[in-house]
A and B are shown apart, each in its own frame.
Chain A
Amino acid sequence: DAGVTQSPTHLIKTRGQHVTLRCSPISGHKSVSWYQQVLGQGPQFIFQYYEKEERGRGNFPDRFSARQFPNYSSELNVNALLLGDSALYLCASSLGAHNEKLFFGSGTQLSVL
């Protein structure tokens, strides 16, 4: 069975550009969460989506947005990229909205130059 898949695996952008990251959850999982992991730190919560609705949002600026599609896949969008947005972006899925046991993908490594 396929795990959580994320694309692309690596991405290089310049300041001011916009980026879209994609995530496909494990089959049957209806909840998707996004986390940002800066080098040397633990992952930090950005968003949770369940049944296409936003269920939670972390302390990130409005430049960050996300959505979930009818097939439960998800996109994370970041506008007006800053150097500080360089990080590993992790997607995680779970069966339900309140299941803490998350299954993570391998992440998208974003570098902003």
Chain B
Amino acid sequence: DQQVKQNSPSLSVQEGRISILNCDYTNSMFDYFLWYKKYPAEGPTFLISISSIKDKNEDGRFTVFLNKSAKHLSLHIVPSQPGDSAVYFCAASGREGAQKLVFGQGTRLTINP
């Protein structure tokens, strides 16, 4: 039972353009959502998060949007840079345990020069 889904295994974007990564969830008890970035041979690194009481959170080039009625969130990166090439994981947590993050399968983002 995949409670958090990232349906695009990979995404290729030209440098300078916008990258949009998508994530869907099924559990309505999730109330906090995070995006992590992972480079090869490194652990995931926290990128940005959003609480279920908000519908948008922005941090520099990164913006996360949350649509609770659709159980969908997205990460926008603009402008995309070559260093953004990595695997991006969407994660969610609920009231039962904040550190029991449920991760999606990941999306490999490649930024082309």
A65 at the interface (CB under 8 A from B): no
Is the pair B44, A43 in contact by a Cβ cutoff of 8 Å?
yes
Q: Which residue of A31, A40, A104 is within 8 Å of B44 (Cβ)?
A: A104
Q: Which residue of B34, B43, B91 is within 8 Å of A105 (Cβ)?
A: B43
Q: Taking chain B's interface residues, is the majority helix, strand, or loop, or is none over half, making it mixed?
A: strand
Question: B94: shortest Cβ distance to chain A, in Å?
Answer: 10
Is the pair B43, A104 in contact by a Cβ cutoff of 8 Å?
yes
Q: Which residue of A44, A90, A102, A107 is within 8 Å of B99 (Cβ)?
A: A102
Measured CB to CB, the nearest residue on chain A to B45 is: A104
**Complex Cα gap A22–B81 (Å):** 35
Given A33-B99, A42-B4, decide whether A101 and B49 contact each other with a Cβ distance below 8 A. yes
Interface residues of B in 64-113 (CB under 8 A from A): 89, 91, 93, 97-106
Size category of the binding interface on chain B: 20 to 34
**Complex Cα gap A15–B46 (Å):** 34
Q: How does the 8 Å CB contact mask read for B2-45 relative to A, with 1 for contact and 0 for none?
A: 00101000000000000000000000000010101000011111
A7 at the interface (CB under 8 A from B): no
Counting from the closest, the 9 A-B pairs by CB-CB distance are A42-B103, A104-B43, A98-B98, A56-B97, A48-B99, A100-B98, A45-B100, A104-B44, A106-B43
23 contacts between A and B (CB under 8 A): A31-B99, A35-B103, A41-B106, A42-B89, A42-B103, A42-B106, A43-B44, A43-B89, A43-B103, A92-B99, A98-B98, A98-B99, A99-B98, A100-B32, A100-B93, A100-B98, A100-B99, A101-B34, A101-B46, A102-B101, A103-B46, A105-B43, A106-B42
